[in-house]
Structure 1
Amino acid sequence: MHVLVTGGAGFIGSHTVVSLLERGHRVTIADDFDNSSPKVLDRIEAITGIRPELAEVDLLDEAAFDAAFAAAKPDAVIHFAGLKAVGESAADPLRYYAHNLGSTFSLLRAMKRHDVSTLVFSSSATVYGDVQQPPYTEDGGRLDATNPYGMTKVMLERILRDIAGAESGWHIALLRYFNPIGAHESGLIGEDPSGIPNNLAPYILQVAVGRLPRLSVFGDDYPTADGTGERDYIHVVDLAEGHVAALEKLATTEGARAWNLGTGTPTSVLQMIAAFEEASGRPIPYSVGPRRAGDLPQSWADTGRAEAELGWKATRDIADMARDGWRWQEQNPRGFSD
C-alpha cells in the first residue's frame, strides 16, 4: 500500500514511517519542516535502507498540497500534521483552531477530489477531558477537552464521524494516544522539541544531558501513590506499530471507529524521574511547585478494544522507554541540530 504520511518528519510520524517501511508499505512524507528536520529522512533511510518519498508542502497551501497529493497518488493517508502544545494552545487558541482544523479540511478535500477514502487520524487522550474517570474507554461518554488543542481533536473527531456517516465508503481510524515517549532503539530518531519542552520526558532528558538545570514538578499533593500526577506513557515504537495495525484493519472496517493506544498502566512523575535516572546513570534534580491549572491527577487507557480488534498491544515498559529515550538524547544532545 502507498501511504501518504502528513507530518511524517515529526516525532511520532517518523517512527510510524519506519514501521510502515518495515511492513513493506511504500511511503510519501508530506511535511513543511516547520517543527521538524529534513535530516529525519537520512535517519529513516539509515534505519530501513529505504528513503521515503517527500512532498515538501504546507497543508494550509491548499493548491500546492492538492498538486502534491495528485502527484503522489496514495492509497491511504495517516494524518499527523498539526500544532500540539497544550499550553501554547491556551495562549493562542485562534492559531490552533485555524491551523489544526484548516489543515485537516485541506487534506479531506484533497482526498475527496482524488478518491482516497482510507484515513488514520492522529487524535489524543485529551478528548476525554475531565468527564470520565480512568481508565478511559472509547464509548465511556461525551468528549470534552479542557484546552483548545484537545478541543481541536474533539471537533475533528466529530467532523470525521459526520463525514463517514453521511458518505458511504470512508474507512477512518480515530487513534487516541496517551503519552508517547522513548525513541527508536538505534538512537537515530527521537523527540526534538523546539524551545523549552512542553512534555515531561523530553524535559527530563534535557536536564539529564545538561541543557536544562532542573525539572519543575507541578504538585505533589494529588490523591495518588506518591502525590504526583500519573499518566499512561507509551513507547513511541509501540504507538507507531499501533498505527500500522489500524491502517491494515481499515481494509475490513467501514465508517469511523476510535481506538485507544496506551499501555493501560499509570506511571507517576517521580517514577518517571527514577526510571530516567536509572537509564542515564545521572541524577535528575527537580523542585516541587504548585499544581498547574488544568492538570488531572490521573489518566490512563482501557486498551481492550485495540487488543481485541487490532490485534495490537504495547509490549515495551517504562524501563525500555527511558533507556531508548536516553540513548537518543545522549547520541544527539542537541537533537537534529548536532
Structure 2
Amino acid sequence: MNVLLTGGAGYIGSHTAVVLSQLGHQVILYDNLSNSSCIVLEKLAQIAGRKIPFVKGDVRDTGLLSNVLASYEINAVVHFAGLKAVGESAQKPIDYYTNNVQGTISLLQAMQLRGIKTIVFSSSATVYGEPRYLPLDENHPTNATNPYGRTKLHVEEMLRDVVTSDSQWRIACLRYFNPVGAHESGLIGESPCGAPNNLMPYIVQVAAGQRAKLEVFGGDYPTPDGTGVRDYIHVMDLAEGHAATLNLLSQTTGWHAINLGTGKGYSVLDMIQAFEKASGRQVPYEVVARRAGDVAECFAYPNKARELLNMTARRTLNEMCASAWRFQQSIQFE
C-alpha cells in the first residue's frame, strides 16, 4: 500500500513511518517542518536502510497535496499534521483552527479530487473532556474543554459527516492517550522545539541537566500520591496501532473511533521514580499549584482496540523511560 503521512517527520509520524516501512508499505512523508527537523529524515533512512520519500509542504496547500497524492499513487492517508499544545491553543485559537480544521478540510478536498477514501486521523483523548467515569471507553460523551481538543472533535465530527454522505469512505479516528518513549535504536524520539508541553520530555531534559527542576502541577488531587494520573503508551505501540488500523480499514468501510492507551494510569511521581530508575539520574521537582483545566485521573478502556485491531500495548513503563533516555543520550553526544 502507498501511504501518505501528513506531519510524517514529527514524533508519532516518524515512528509510524518506521513500522509501516518494515511491514512493506511504501511510505511518503509530507511535513512543513514547523515542529520537526530534516535530521529526522536522515535518522529514518538509517533505520529503514533507505531514504523515505519526503515532500516539504503545508497541509493547507490543497494543490500541492493533490499533486503528491497523484504522483505517488497514494492509497491511504494517515493524518498527523496539526498543532498540539493545550496551553498554546488557548492563547492562539485562530492558529489552531486554521492548522487543524482548515488543514484537514484541505486534505479531504485533495483526497476527494483524487478518489482516495481511506484516512486514519490522529485524534486525542482530550475530546472526552472531564471524565464522567473511568476508564474512558469510546462511548463516553465528548466534551472538549480547550481549543486544541475542540479542533480534534470538530475534525472527528466532520469525518463522520463525510462517511454519512458517502458510504465508500473508510475512516478511523484514533484517540491517543499520552505517547512517550522512543524507537529502540535511540535514533528518533520526542524532540520538541522550545519548551516541552508534555511531561516525559520535560523529565528527560531535567535529568539531562538542561533544566533545573520539574514543576509538578498539583499535589492535592484525590489520587494515591496527590499528583495527576495519566495513561502513558509507548510510541512504538502507538505506531503499531496505526498499522493495524490501516489493515482494519482495508477490510471495512465506515467511521470508527478507537482509543489507543494501556488501560493503566501512572501518577506524575510514578513517572519521575520510574525515569530515575531507568536513567540512573535524579529528577529534582517542586510541587506547585494545580494547572487550570487539568483533571485528577484519565486512563483508557482499551478493549475496542484489542477487539478490532487485535492490538494490545505491550511495552512496559521501564521500556518507555529507558528508550526516552537512550534517545536523549544519542542527541546529546552527536
Same fold, TM exceeding 0.5? yes
In the aligned structure 2, how far is the partner of 1:64 from the partner of 1:305? 36
Q: Secondary structure at the match of 2:290?
A: coil
In the aligned structure 2, how far is the partner of 1:10 from the partner of 1:99? 15
Q: Secondary structure at the match of 1:252?
A: coil
Q: Deviations over 1:95-146 (max 9, x none)?
A: 10111111101100011000100100000000000153221110122x1111
Q: Secondary structure at the match of 2:134?
A: coil
Which blocks of at least 5 consecutive residues in structure 2 are unaligned?
A: none
Equivalent position of 1:253 in the other structure: 252
Letter in 2 for 1:247: L
- 1:70-81 equivalences under 5 Å are 70-81=70-81
Taking only aligned residues, the RMSD between alpha carbons, in angstroms, comes to: 1.0
Equivalent position of 2:261 in the other structure: 262
- 1:44-83 equivalences under 5 Å are 44-83=44-83
Equivalent position of 1:215 in the other structure: 214
Equivalent position of 2:166 in the other structure: 167
Letter in 2 for 1:41: L
Equivalent position of 2:16 in the other structure: 16
Equivalent position of 1:147 in the other structure: 146
TM-score (norm 2): 0.98
Q: Deviations over 1:313-332 (max 9, x none)?
A: 00011111000000001111
Structure 1 residue ranges (4+ consecutive) displaced by more than 3 angstroms after TM superposition:
none
Contact kept, 8 Å, 1:131 with 1:144, in 2: the verdict is: no
- Sequence identity percentage: 52
TM-score (norm 1): 0.97
Equivalent position of 2:320 in the other structure: 321
- How many residue pairs get aligned? The number is 334
In the aligned structure 2, how far is the partner of 1:50 from the partner of 1:105? 32
Letter in 2 for 1:66: S
Cα deviation for residue 204 of structure 1 reads 0.3
Equivalent position of 1:90 in the other structure: 90
Cα deviation for residue 207 of structure 1 reads 0.5
Q: Deviations over 1:29-60 (max 9, x none)?
A: 01111111111111111112132111111111
In the aligned structure 2, how far is the partner of 1:140 from the partner of 1:100? 23
Cα deviation for residue 65 of structure 1 reads 2.4
In the aligned structure 2, how far is the partner of 1:121 from the partner of 1:42? 26
In the aligned structure 2, how far is the partner of 1:58 from the partner of 1:27? 18
In the aligned structure 1, how far is the partner of 2:76 from the partner of 2:65? 15
In the aligned structure 2, how far is the partner of 1:321 from the partner of 1:247? 24
Equivalent position of 2:26 in the other structure: 26
Cα deviation for residue 253 of structure 1 reads 1.7
Task: State which drifts further: 269-278 or 44-53.
Answer: 44-53
Cα deviation for residue 333 of structure 1 reads 2.6
Cα deviation for residue 94 of structure 1 reads 1.1
Which blocks of at least 5 consecutive residues in structure 1 are unaligned?
A: none
Q: Secondary structure at the match of 2:246?
A: helix
In the aligned structure 1, how far is the partner of 2:147 from the partner of 2:132? 18
Equivalent position of 1:228 in the other structure: 227
Letter in 2 for 1:54: F
Q: Deviations over 1:136-191 (max 9, x none)?
A: 110122x1111100100111000000110111200001100000000001000000
